[in-house]
Amino acid sequence: MIVAGIDAGSRALKILLWDAGRQRPIAQAVRDQGPDHDARARELFDELLASSRLAPPQVARVVATGYGRAAVSFAHSTVTEITCHAAGVRRHVPDAATIIEIGGQDSKLLRLNSDGTVRDFAMNDRCAAGTGRFLEVVAARLAVPLDALGDLARRAEAPAPVSSLCVVFAETEIIGLLASGARPEAVVAGVQAAIASRVAAMLGRDAVGPLVFTGGVALVPGMADALARVLGVPVRVSLDPQFTGALGAALLAVRQASAPGGGP
């Protein structure tokens, strides 16, 4: 049985085709979001099917998740990203107890029960200062690639203080720091520490491990280390973290398709 998980995020679209018999992905791809989430999802879905030599009827079920999940018209069902990230992380880390997911426009904290279900969660979706957008702004201001931020931060003797809770004001603060002579590497280290501190505020003192970091920002070098320093516990980066939500959606698609009356 072949299923598909679609994570229609606010800034990126991720699709994963899953072979339930072999318990492995067949194909996966990511693309920047567009104004028409449905058309963008359909286009990428068709491309993945073509590259895998599959026809739409061969996909038993499609589950969509993420910010734009309701716009994916060809999905058989939708599931919240909270549930999908929990399922995706648990696939690779069966004993994960806490999940930190940071994407382009929001960040989430999930606490899991021993059976992998979500016990409770917190979300920051009101301010971009704790998300990937914050790092994009910093990279643009410093004129460096996003994936170079980790190397810069590692060269910092100490992080520069970045205290603003709004990405607009934080950018102004960063401009001021650079103008006053702060080194770029110190600024990057300060930004990573600021993001980690916002996550720590959501987590409180309940940092139960294993703690797994996922989402697109988990791909940015240095962020996992920044989280570990602030939280005081080891932080493990999920395998292929940008596709965790899509993987979880695909795994839930298998469950739905296997349930009585669970076909398309």
Residue among 165, 83, 161, 168 nearest 124 (CA): 165
Q: What is the pLDDT of residue 205?
A: 65
Kindly tell me if the per-residue pLDDT of 96 is higher than 80: yes
In 16-107, where does DSSP find H-type helix?
A: 37-51, 81-92
CATH topology of domain 1-93+241-264: Nucleotidyltransferase; domain 5 (3.30.420)
pLDDT at 125 over 60: no
User: What value does the mean pLDDT take over residues 165-183?
Assistant: 77
Quick check: do 1-93+241-264 and 96-237 share a fold?
A: yes
Collapsing DSSP states into helix, strand and coil, what is residue 32?
strand
Q: What is the pTM of this model?
A: 0.86
Give the residue-averaged pLDDT of 233-260: 94
DSSP string, 93-119: -TT--EEEEE-SS-EEEEEE-TTS-EE
- What pLDDT does 204 receive? 74
What tokens does 216 get? Answer: 């697109």
Residue 71: predicted pLDDT: 95
CATH of 96-237, one of 1.20.1250.20, 3.10.150.10, 3.30.1330.10, 3.30.420.40: 3.30.420.40
In three-state form (DSSP H/G/I as H, E/B as E, the rest C), the secondary structure along 200-238 is HHHHCCCCCCCEEEECHHHHCCCHHHHHHHHHCCCCEEC
Q: Where are the domains of the chain?
A: 1-93+241-264, 96-237
Judge whether residue 25 has pLDDT over 90: yes
Confidence check: pLDDT of 121 > 60: yes
Contacts of 215 (CB under 8 A, 6+ apart): 85, 100, 101, 102, 103, 107, 108, 132, 241, 242, 244
**Residue 1 contacts residue 22 (beta carbons within 8 Å):** no
For 34-66, write each residue's pLDDT tens digit: 889 999 999 999 999 999 999 999 999 999 999
Q: What is the mean pLDDT of residues 215-244?
A: 89
User: Measured at the alpha carbon of residue 131, what is the angle toward residues 183 and 62, in degrees to the nearest 5?
Assistant: 145
pLDDT of residue 128: 53
| Residue 134 pLDDT exceeds 90 | no
